[in-house]
Structure 1
Amino acid sequence: MSSRIAESSDRPARTARLSWERVRARRLRRHGLAAPLADAGPAGAAAAMCGAHAQVLSAAEMSIGLRTAGTTRVDVREALWTEHSLIKTFGPRGTVHLLPARDLPMWTGALSALPAGANPMPPDVRMTPEQTDRVVAAIAEALAGAELTADELTEAIAERAGAWAADPVVPAFQGMWPRWRQAVATAANRGALCFGPNRGRKVTYTAPARLLPGFRPAGGPEALAELVRRYLYAYGPATPQHFAQWLSAPRRWAAELFASLEGELQPVDADGVTGWVTAGDAEAGPGSEADPDAGARGVRLLPYFDAYAVGCHPRETVFPGRAAERALAGGQAGCFPVLLVDGVVAGVWHQRRSGRRIDITVEPLGELTSARMRELEAQAERIAEILQGVPRLTIGPVTVGPHA
């Protein structure tokens, strides 16, 4: 990407300078990890981090609860299933997220405008673009007035698109899913599908428009531009390559997208590494060099795939030295819950529940001072409050592997 991306037509962009300490401080504040977000409920917290990863719902509940004052898992579930201020759907990287309902038009408009990636399925399993369109249309029609389990939706899609869509050909969890399942994220990105409340142990799907009357995806170009702005506010300074990794999108496409926003972005030098923020965002406000109280401090326990750990780059500034060896899995962030000290990963942790008892084991990578230990104890109490249990904190090795 050209170094002149943030220039106006008649004057060069000024490169701002921030230390990584200040960068981490602004990210922590904007994520609600330095202090709870003021007047923000669950939807506000999800918006601040550009979506809460929710493949494991309890992890999303912790991510949101840690960023708000007094929020528990009950509050998150009420926002999701009663108020519908949160929507459970497929978000960045094709993974399950909780997204703010008010932002769903932007998200669906942006995600549906991403270039199609390579289909990893064998040739005899893949659906053609035309078949994908037929399946998405069938999903939209079937869910327009219903909440359906996967099996019920399979029957409905087969009736509308053809029996081929129900062929059990997609390998999944030591079994086979019907062919249409490879299009489920596409359907969600196009605004045809989201998750409904579980029916017992079974997942259900429904149409976003059932939960949000008048819902329509926003236009692609406008939605993508807004998503860049939101991402840079939460994770900047960042490069197009970081944005591409966060979305699981092509790097060249991301570079072209950033270039199309010429005049809106500004370069920032962070201790010799150049990234981008929205124009003017480096000069003032929380976490900037102009802020006399910019050095955020504190201990946090972040759950699996917390947005801060996954979205902040460069990796080595968040997972320095031994932290990369201990808390990344094949270079991937989020596979371990992490101990965060002053915005930097400083250990891993694990929690196990038995009734109301929540055993929290923390493995620091270095010695914690007595002041840090008090903060850690407070974090364990907060985690237990969010999950509505009673904590028991242990300092020692975490023996479970990633995703355990």
Structure 2
Amino acid sequence: MKEGRSVRVSWDQVFAWRLRRQFVTPCGEIDVTDIVERMCGVQAQVTAAADLAVALRRRTPEPGALLPELASGTLMKTWAMRGTLHALAPEMAAAVLSLIGSARTWEKPAWQRTFGASPAQVAALADAVPQVLDGIVLSRDELVDALVADPAFHRLGEELRSGWGALLKPLAWQGALCHGPAQGNRVTFTSPAHLIRGWRGLPDPDAAAPVAITGYLGAYGPATPEIFDAWLSRNSLKKTTVRRWFSELGDALTEVDIAGRRAYILTEHADELEAVQPPRTSVQLLGAFDQYVLGPGTGDSELLPAAHRARVSRAAGWISPILVVDGRIAGTWEISGDDLSVATFDGSLPPTRDLKAAAEHVAEAMGHNGFAVHVA
């Protein structure tokens, strides 16, 4: 880590810097792939939410712009951070999959009891799937039918067909499969080598770590090794290993003091962060599962007041659309017909002009004519 320099910043500066780095404000004429790359991926459990996350970061939103990039292989969709589906740039995908896979969560007794597959069976699947998917795209049923035709996998058919993909995730984390182009409502799978031109497989974790860590800090910093691992794997990796990866980055990282909290930023961004002047007023509406909250995590009480966390992080893993005021999450919103309703945490009313502009941007990003805005 870079020594001999003390960088002290406020949370207002941190949030203003993140809003810029994540293309939330100001928006620009930015390519879809550049947005996804900067964000280290966008969560794509709900495709419409991923598309909205990208559209809202463009000055001139283009609804549906994400899907063509996934279909062409410019981006890939696969199970990645925290076991959830993400749209990712190929280099970042290879890096994070390598790190997530290094945790070997499928070898833990609790995982085996829950999903009924031994490490040997997962290893056999990881060998078989690339052969089945070599040069082709298959639906889930077609892939599973091909696998269970082998007696060694026959009893795994039910878990392989599960919509949650629990038994397929370890295969994704080992680079054996990824999602293929959508066929209507049908999920498809293929091999990364078939989808991505020039795919080189997964790097060694020690080689992958600098790519993932610097990418993450470039969008969500300053952060600690523990926060990075919570984003990546829900803290499934060994703490000593993650700390070593940070330490080995040496002078590429600079320690930052944020109101007494110690964290790290990329050294190349330290001056920019220190010089940031927070805007007088900043109001944004971001969609469900947005990376602005998922990057640092809903447990960050500076970003999201702990008393209101349950209103954002809801049952079954649902992350609500959020109102962001001056970089902090200040409420949630929802759409019903032509109405966009905002519920603030403390009852305060954001500037009407700014809120209306944010709602107009949402409407444009969704291909809607416009919403009537209501605030509770």
TM-score between the two structures when normalised by the length of structure 2: 0.88
Query: Is the 1:309–1:333 Cα contact (8 Å) retained in structure 2?
Result: no
Q: Which of residues 360, 363, 378 in structure 1 aligns to 2:340?
A: 360
Q: 1: distance between equivalents of 2:115 and 2:317?
A: 30
Secondary structure of the 2:257 match is strand
Change (3 A) 1:394 1:71: closer
The RMSD of aligned alpha carbons is 2.7
Q: 2: distance between equivalents of 1:242 and 1:201?
A: 35
Q: Hey, what does 1:383 align to over in structure 2?
A: 362
Instruction: Name the structure where helix makes up a greater proportion of residues.
Output: 2
Q: Which of residues 303, 308, 311 in structure 1 aligns to 2:292?
A: 308
1:236 maps to a residue whose letter is: G
1:205 maps to a residue whose letter is: F
Secondary structure of the 2:149 match is helix
How far apart are residue 297 of structure 1 and its match? Answer: 4.2
Query: Is the 1:138–1:160 Cα contact (8 Å) retained in structure 2?
Result: no
Q: Hey, what does 1:209 align to over in structure 2?
A: 193
Q: 1: distance between equivalents of 2:311 and 2:274?
A: 32
Change (3 A) 1:280 1:199: closer
Query: Is the 2:115–2:167 Cα contact (8 Å) retained in structure 1?
Result: no
Query: Is the 1:310–1:333 Cα contact (8 Å) retained in structure 2?
Result: no
Q: 1: distance between equivalents of 2:268 and 2:195?
A: 37
Q: Which of residues 65, 69, 78 in structure 2 aligns to 1:75?
A: 65
Q: Which of residues 15, 20, 29 in structure 1 aligns to 2:11?
A: 20
Query: Is the 1:198–1:204 Cα contact (8 Å) retained in structure 2?
Result: yes
Q: Hey, what does 1:235 align to over in structure 2?
A: 220
Q: Which of residues 352, 357, 360 in structure 2 aligns to 1:373?
A: 352
What whole-Å deviation, never above 9, does each CA across 1:163-222 have from its counterpart, x for those lacking one?
A: 43534257957xxx8xxx533122222222111233332211111222222202233211
Query: Is the 2:133–2:190 Cα contact (8 Å) retained in structure 1?
Result: yes
Secondary structure of the 1:62 match is helix
Q: 1: distance between equivalents of 2:227 and 2:262?
A: 12
Query: Is the 2:23–2:35 Cα contact (8 Å) retained in structure 1?
Result: yes
Query: Is the 2:206–2:245 Cα contact (8 Å) retained in structure 1?
Result: no
Query: Is the 2:339–2:374 Cα contact (8 Å) retained in structure 1?
Result: no
Q: Which 4+ stretches in 1 moved above 6 angstroms?
A: none
What whole-Å deviation, never above 9, does each CA across 1:128-153 have from its counterpart, x for those lacking one?
A: 22211111121111111221111111
Query: Is the 1:154–1:166 Cα contact (8 Å) retained in structure 2?
Result: no
Q: Hey, what does 1:401 align to over in structure 2?
A: none
Q: Hey, what does 2:309 align to over in structure 1?
A: 324
Q: Hey, what does 2:319 align to over in structure 1?
A: 335
Query: Is the 2:160–2:168 Cα contact (8 Å) retained in structure 1?
Result: no
Secondary structure of the 1:223 match is helix
Change (3 A) 1:125 1:338: closer
What whole-Å deviation, never above 9, does each CA across 1:23-42 have from its counterpart, x for those lacking one?
A: 111111000012114x5211
Where structure 2 has 5 or more consecutive residues not aligned to the other structure, the ranges are none
How far apart are residue 84 of structure 1 and its match? Answer: 2.6
Q: Hey, what does 1:255 align to over in structure 2?
A: 243
Change (3 A) 1:149 1:56: same
Q: Hey, what does 2:371 align to over in structure 1?
A: 392
Is residue 225 of structure 1 aligned with residue 210 of structure 2? Answer: yes
Secondary structure of the 2:129 match is helix
Number of residue equivalences = 369
Change (3 A) 1:149 1:127: same
Q: Hey, what does 1:274 align to over in structure 2?
A: 262
What whole-Å deviation, never above 9, does each CA across 1:239-286 have from its counterpart, x for those lacking one?
A: 11111110123361423332333443221100111011123431x22x
Change (3 A) 1:165 1:206: farther
Q: Hey, what does 1:31 align to over in structure 2?
A: 22
Q: Which of residues 89, 95, 112 in structure 1 aligns to 2:84?
A: 95
Is residue 192 of structure 1 aligned with residue 176 of structure 2? Answer: yes
Change (3 A) 1:135 1:110: same
Query: Is the 1:337–1:348 Cα contact (8 Å) retained in structure 2?
Result: yes
Matches within 5 A, 1:66-215: 66-81=56-71, 83-116=72-105, 118=108, 120-121=110-111, 123=113, 125-160=115-150, 162-164=152-154, 166-168=156-158, 181-215=165-199
Which moved further from structure 2: 198-207 or 227-236? 198-207
1:145 maps to a residue whose letter is: G
